[in-house]
Structure 1
Amino acid sequence: MNHGLHAEMESAVAAVIGDMREAVTQLAAALAAERSALEQADAEALHLAGTAKQAQMERLEQLDGERVQLLRAIAAPAPAQSAAWSEVVAALADCQRANQYNGQVVGQRLRQVRQALSVLTGGSESTLYGPAGTLRTDHRQQSLAEA
């Protein structure tokens, strides 16, 4: 590969990593919006945040494919590209932690809803859904007036 083409490929790698950095920043914003929507129990905001999060994840996946292809064409990335990539990886790790936290909040809310359903139906949590995840109708149903 001639020097001019190699420099052009390195420039392309740097541009892709820069685009990834921007996508990670937008992903972090979507995760923060998701956390806020969860805290406020705002279903519409949660939907919008989830859509934005999914879009950024797809964008990152596409950009990473481009990055990998470009890096195959140039034997070794420049030190500046390696440092920029390390920053992207660190930011992605932060996003992963934020996403896990949001998942824990969702899990907690789901447990609370299941407990409330259990109280309302007079059954135990485990009798509401069968092993296949389908609603079981054989649990005891009492209206609150009978209790």
Structure 2
Amino acid sequence: MTETVFDPVHFIRSECDAIRDFIDTLRGEQAALRQADVSLLPRLAEEKAQRAQQLAQLADARKCLLSAQGQATDRAGIERWLQDFPVAADAWQELIRLAETASQLNSINGKLVGQRLRYNQQAIAALQDATQVASLYGANGHTQPFLVGRQLGEV
């Protein structure tokens, strides 16, 4: 029976690839939000959720591996463990940089969503205000809208 040798470089690079895909999705989401192209957002939201789930699974696998190696599962634990694997340590630093980029993009996208939401709420409020026309009471005692100008179809 052959023993499987764990390759931390491959493992971490796989995580880097997954986070790059996540970043690409975040950039697509950001472009759609900036262009107000809401038709793309449902597909991007689904893709983002799938990629986030993949990242969570990879992080869980990394934590299991660290735990099996007797290391703490936090950042300090992996950095201690990777001291014996300098190439993997470099890949880990790249992963940290990519994670920071993803976090920044996600934060910006959240602000863009909030901005779009506020804009839409203001537009709805303006439309609702525009429909609140003054009313008068008719001969029957019921309100009827006070219209300025001619009715449609009048000459």
TM-score (norm 2): 0.69
Does 2:15 align with 1:8?
no
Paired residue for 2:109? 102
1:84 corresponds to which of 91, 97, 105: 91
SS in structure 1 at match of 2:62: helix
Cα shift readout 1:106-144 (whole Å, capped 9, x = no counterpart):
111111111112222229xxxxxxxxxxxxxxxxx7159
Q: Which residue does 2:31 correspond to in 1? A: 36
Residue of 12, 19, 24 corresponding to 1:24: 19
Instruction: Give the total of aligned pairs.
Output: 124
Name structure 1 gaps, 5 residues minimum: 124-140
Q: How does 1:45-124 map to 2 (within 5 A)?
A: 45-75=40-70, 76-77=81-82, 78-122=85-129
What is the CA distance between 1:41 and its match in structure 2?
2.0
- Alpha carbons of structure 1 residues 100 and 146: separation in structure 2 relative to 1, 3 Å: farther
Amino acid in structure 1 at the alignment position of 2:58 = L
Instruction: Answer yes or no: is the 8 Å Cα contact 1:23–1:60 preserved in 2.
Output: yes
Could you tell me which runs of 5 or more consecutive residues in structure 2 were left unpaired when the two chains were aligned: 71-80, 135-144, 148-155
What is the rounded CA distance, in whole Å, between the counterparts of 1:143 and 1:17 in structure 2?
A: 63
| Identity fraction in percent | 28
In our comparison, the structure showing a higher alpha carbon Rg is: 2
Please give the root-mean-square deviation of Cα atoms over the aligned residues, in Å: 2.6
Question: What does residue 128 of structure 1 align with?
Answer: none
TM-score by length of 1: 0.73
Q: CA deviation at 1:55?
A: 1.1
Measured after TM superposition, the shift of residue 43 of structure 1 is 2.2
- Structure with the larger helix share: 1
